[in-house]
């Protein structure tokens, strides 16, 4: 793969489910067969961007962690462990998401379902079980 072929992978991996990203992950795995980085001999912009896109896609992360693509898993883990500078934004984003979830759970459950015409009565589909 050339550098101009690697750049479109960012968009195709970002918005896809497993079926749509699987061929792209296989192409990355094949490209990384004898390489440590996607382009060159040090961490480049394309490595950072594709790692962040993969990190943001849950389907891609689960497939990589499952171990089906050895070269891609090796590259992903290597970037994750040896370049903590690219993870600062990811960690900040994860912390913000956890804080939002924690604030929502502290507030309690909301049972405001906004039922239409609920003042006229509500009919349930299943009867309660006898005690």
pLDDT tens digits, 35-51? 999 888 999 888 888 88
Report the chain's mean pLDDT, rounded to a whole number: 79
pTM above 0.75, yes or no: no
Domain count along the chain? 1
What are the C-alpha distances in Å from 47 to residues 11, 76, 79, 98? 14, 10, 8, 27
CATH number, domain of 72, equals 1.20.1050.10
Q: Which of 64, 55, 62, 69 is nearest to 26 (CA)?
A: 69
In a domain, 57, yes or no: yes
Q: Domain residues for 45?
A: 9-86
The residue with greater pLDDT, 40 or 15, is 40
Q: Which of 85, 82, 29 is nearest to 54 (CA)?
A: 29
Structure confidence at residue 33 (pLDDT): 92
In a domain, 3, yes or no: no
In a domain, 114, yes or no: no
């Amino acid at each position: 793969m050339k550098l101009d072929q690697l750049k479109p992978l960012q968009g195709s991996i970002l918005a896809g489910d497993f079926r749509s990203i699987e061929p792209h992950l296989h192409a990355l795995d094949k490209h990384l067969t004898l390489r440590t980085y996607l382009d060159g001999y040090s961490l480049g912009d394309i490595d950072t961007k594709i790692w962040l896109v993969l990190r943001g896609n849950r389907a891609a992360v689960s497939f990589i962690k499952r171990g089906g693509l050895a070269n891609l898993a090796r590259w992903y883990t290597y970037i994750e462990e040896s370049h903590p500078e690219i993870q600062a934004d990811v960690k900040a984003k994860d912390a913000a998401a956890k804080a939002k979830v924690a604030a929502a759970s502290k507030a309690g459950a909301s049972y405001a379902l906004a039922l239409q015409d609920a003042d006229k009565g509500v009919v349930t589909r299943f009867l309660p079980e006898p005690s």
